[in-house]
């Protein structure tokens, strides 16, 4: 905030990149586009775009999200992940990218964006095995860990569920995002006891067996007590918390 302007660079732009997650068919999926122009033409990438003049970062992210999902934005969970600013991350020049994480209920179908590119839902395993443009593989990785962490400490999992939803719907979200099977009985106990996580609508959904009670999202944003994953065998290692985004918290 107080350096001589001689060190300021000339060509610089700021973009937002979106990691849009959804859960469909019990699988965590991410929205990928196929780039229609260079650089990385024809390669898969995260959706995104430049921040416009006079526009908030959050607004730019919401705008891009609406363009890609064609869903009324205010419904969707959207939060900033972090900034990526390696000087070499974009061959066209210096582009700082602010990554956002969006959690969406199962959306109709892959939607074509306004730009000349094809959009598709990719399973998280497929996406991780795909070579992505720019540093999007790293962004996706950070976003995935952020999402997994969010499910532990916040009520964000419900953002994946279209209302009304059942406890089983919610559990399938956890299982898809964490990639773990959960005990249905213990899961029910935890989510129903957590204050203001979910609220019964009074309705029921009929499939085949016993009808399931329906719920809507409650007002709580944080889960107390948190709904932790397995006793942290995967997390107590020597990872860097600043890089492995908020495994407990951040963004």
Partner DNA sequence: ATAATAGTGTCTGTAAGACATTATATA
Partner DNA sequence: TATATAATGTCTTACAGACACTATTAT
User: Which of positions 36-55 make contact with its own copies (CB under 8 A)?
Assistant: 36-37, 45-55
Nearer CB in complex with DNA: 20/170: 170
Nearer CB in complex with its own copies: 162/249: 249
Interaction of residue 83 with its own copies, rule CB under 8 A: yes
Residues 17, 102: contact at Cβ < 8 Å?
A: no
> Smallest distance, Å, CB 220 to DNA?
14
Residues 220, 196: contact at Cβ < 8 Å?
A: yes
Nearest to 20 by CA among 84, 79, 60, 74: 79
Nearest to 137 by CA among 148, 150, 126, 149: 126
Token pair recorded at residue 67: 């363009």
Nearer CB in complex with DNA: 100/165: 165
Binding pattern to its own copies, positions 169-188, x when CB under 8 A?
Answer: --------------------
Dihedral through CA 170, CA 171, CA 177, CA 183, nearest 10? 170
Residues between 114 and 173 that touch DNA (CB under 7 A): 166-168
Footprint of DNA (CB under 7 A): 166-168, 183-186, 188-190, 192-193, 204, 206-213, 225, 227-228, 230-231
């Amino acid at each position: 905030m107080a350096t001589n302007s001689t060190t300021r660079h000339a060509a610089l732009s700021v973009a937002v990149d979106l990691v849009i997650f959804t859960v469909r068919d019990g699988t965590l999926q991410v929205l990928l586009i196929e780039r229609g122009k260079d650089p990385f033409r024809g390669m898969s990438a995260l959706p995104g775009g430049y921040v416009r003049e006079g526009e908030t970062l959050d607004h730019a992210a919401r705008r891009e999200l609406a363009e890609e999902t064609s869903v009324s934005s205010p419904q969707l969970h959207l939060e900033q992940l972090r900034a990526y600013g390696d000087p070499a991350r974009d061959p066209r020049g210096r582009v700082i990218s602010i990554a956002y994480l969006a959690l969406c209920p199962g959306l109709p179908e892959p939607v074509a964006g306004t730009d000349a590119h094809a959009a598709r839902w990719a399973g998280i395993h497929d996406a991780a095995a795909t070579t992505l443009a720019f540093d999007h593989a790293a962004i996706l990785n950070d976003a995935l860990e952020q999402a997994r962490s969010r499910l532990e400490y916040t009520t964000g999992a419900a953002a994946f569920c279209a209302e009304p939803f059942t406890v089983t719907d919610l559990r399938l979200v956890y299982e898809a995002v964490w990639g773990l099977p959960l005990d249905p009985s213990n899961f029910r106990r935890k989510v129903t006891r957590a204050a203001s996580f979910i609220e019964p609508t009074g309705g029921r959904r009929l499939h085949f067996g016993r009808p399931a009670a329906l719920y809507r999202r409650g007002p709580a944003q944080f889960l107390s007590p948190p709904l932790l994953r397995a006793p942290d065998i995967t997390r107590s290692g020597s990872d860097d918390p600043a890089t492995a985004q908020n495994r407990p918290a951040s963004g």
